[in-house]
Structure 1
Amino acid sequence: MATTIPVIDFQHYGLQVENTQTVTDEDLKQLGEEIHEAFRTIGFCYIKNHGIPQEMIDKAFKISKDFFDLPVDTKTKVKRSVDSNNGWVSPGRESLNPDRPGDLKEAFNFKPPDEKDREFIRQCHQNIGNGNKNQTTLRSLMYPPLPTDGSILPGQTRCGEHCDYGTVTMLFQDDIGGLEVCNTTGKYIQATPVPGAICVNIGDLMQRWTADELKATKHRVLIPEDEVKKNKGRQSMAFFIHPDDDCVIKCLDGSDKYQPITALDYLNWRFSLTYY
């Protein structure tokens, strides 16, 4: 029974491995078993030695911060429309737990028309198909310093309890922390950032696809009790991996535990429950 988030070493199969033919079956078997166990139980893991250069990640964080530092009037010009997942999401517009008030965060969803000119996205997108045919998206998140004027609503959080919508998420965190994951005992634990590692989790669509063999896990970002952290902004970047839009998601074991649905229809249904 998993009560902590495991760290999985991709040293033998990260992007830094130029010739994957040199990877032994034994190494792949061990890696596959570790990933399966993590996703079968807690639904989260950290991967280290993944091969994405840290300087590239740092650069992406800087670009993200530069955007969020822009005036609201400027960001409004590129706001997310009702018929697109691209663009800026203003603070409070999104509620990942519909039972809570809008989340105290802002976001920018980015799906470029051609990944070949987007270095960081290209690194994340290695060997996962044609991004032009699916909703795989990079999302930059900014959790601004919390207001001190008493405007925080009862039950409001930085990011409400939720499971991700798609198949797999790669999460890049800063060193502030704050993400909490619900473990197999039903207790929320800190997903403390691991230097140089990517936090990876599966989403509801993968759980549906595997007929509940793999577990999508609820996670959240609460308002910190620490006064210093309340006055600090927090950044993260999530790379959401989705199947091609017309892919029909059917239970892989043939059980039909869940009704078949296309990947795009499922995502649009989830979005309809999320945005105000």
Structure 2
Amino acid sequence: MSIPMVDFGACSLSEEEVGDEQKMHALGKQLESTFTGVGFVCLKNTGITQEEVNAVMAVSKTFFLQPEEEKKPFSRKSFADNPNHGWVQLETERTNRACPADLKESFNVTLIRPDIEWPSGAVEGFQEIQTTFFRRCKELSLRVLRVMALSLGLDPQVFLSAHRFIGAEGNNSTLRSLYYPPVNRETVKEDQVRCGEHSDYSSITLLFSTSEGLQVQRRSGEFMDVPYVPGTVLINIADIMQRWTSDRFVSVVHRVLLPPAGDSSTRQSLAFLLQPDDEALITCCDGSNRYPPITGGDYLAERFSRTY
């Protein structure tokens, strides 16, 4: 099993309108094939450039390299309107409950309102760069959802109408800037990794990186390394989408291990986790009762309780 490369040019953000119906259906067949089998796809020609990705990572790294006292005012749960927005300290999340907490920190952008406090000073441009990229990811995600719906023979509104409030109150879609600092082998706990084995909670995830390090689980249970291809975006099915499609689309476990001994390099990635609206009722889109109905907000709260 390998992760297929698919040309998304027909629906690229560089085009004002999505592709014509014939091209859309052809693209839908490709996505259906990979999402029912591998669960991951590598998209090229999305309209989001590597330069845009690099800009977000640069301003994010400037934030992460600050002293802790400079970052603490922006901690997750410090923002009343959305407790998921903000900085997540190193070893706060445990994505694999059987292992120690992850050796990563992050900054979650969930609200893009101008009236909330943003890092400034040494991280000039943080708000503008992060929120601009958030909006780009939002638009690409909605185009992917449209093609996914067509691939299943559904009206695109089945998915789109459940993602109306992205970036505002009532929706928890999140752009996560992730930073993996150098690893000190003398202090690493047994079985501790940079990001434990997990599947994502959301509808879909867009993942951008500038290096290798991600591993995806094969159907056999073994893990494979995911190659880094500049200018592309990895997209994976997440748990609520698997539930929504009655297991037709598959959510796949992935992880980030420690670097080899003696490797003191850092790692960065950007993950845009597209969530349904809090009040959106998620029911099996094939009309079955394989999973009971649940709202997007209730599902996310249940999963957060296991991670934090």
TM-score by structure 2 length? 0.83
- C-alpha deviations, 1:85-133, integer Å up to 9, x for none? 0111111110000110000111111123339962111111114633123
Partner of 1:112: 111
Whether 2:180 is the aligned partner of 1:181: answer no
Which of 153, 174, 186 is residue 189 of structure 2 equivalent to? Answer: 153
Alpha-carbon distance in structure 1 between the residues aligned to 2:17 and 2:239: 33
Alignment of 1:93-242 (within 5 A): 93-114=92-113, 118-126=131-139, 127=142, 129-131=164-166, 132=168, 133-148=170-185, 150-175=186-211, 177-225=212-260, 227-228=262-263, 231-242=264-275
Alpha-carbon distance in structure 1 between the residues aligned to 2:69 and 2:99: 27
Which of 26, 32, 47 is residue 22 of structure 2 equivalent to? Answer: 26
- C-alpha deviations, 1:146-181, integer Å up to 9, x for none? 013x21111111000000001000001112x11000
Partner of 1:254: 287
TM-superposed deviation, 1:72: 0.9
TM-superposed deviation, 1:209: 0.7
Partner of 1:70: 66
TM-superposed deviation, 1:25: 2.4
The range that moved more, 50-59 or 114-123, is 114-123
Alpha-carbon distance in structure 2 between the residues aligned to 1:156 and 1:19: 46
Alpha-carbon distance in structure 2 between the residues aligned to 1:188 and 1:74: 38
- Aligned CA RMSD, in angstroms, stands at 1.7
Partner of 2:306: 273
- C-alpha deviations, 1:176-222, integer Å up to 9, x for none? x1100012222211111111100110110001111111100000001
The number of residue pairs the alignment matches comes to 267
Whether 2:117 is the aligned partner of 1:80: answer no
Q: Report if aligned partners of 2:48, 2:231 keep a CA contact under 8 Å in 1.
A: no
TM-superposed deviation, 1:77: 1.6
The range that moved more, 122-131 or 237-246, is 122-131
The ranges of structure 1 where at least 4 consecutive aligned residues each deviate by more than 4 angstroms after the TM superposition are none
Alpha-carbon distance in structure 2 between the residues aligned to 1:15 and 1:271: 32
TM-superposed deviation, 1:13: 1.5
Runs of at least 5 residues in structure 1 that lack an aligned partner in the other structure = none
Alpha-carbon distance in structure 1 between the residues aligned to 2:75 and 2:15: 39
Letter in 2 for 1:124: C
TM-superposed deviation, 1:226: 5.2
Alpha-carbon distance in structure 2 between the residues aligned to 1:19 and 1:243: 23
- C-alpha deviations, 1:42-68, integer Å up to 9, x for none? 110110000013322211111111110
SS in 2 for 1:46: strand
Alpha-carbon distance in structure 2 between the residues aligned to 1:243 and 1:249: 8
SS in 1 for 2:74: coil
Alpha-carbon distance in structure 2 between the residues aligned to 1:250 and 1:27: 29
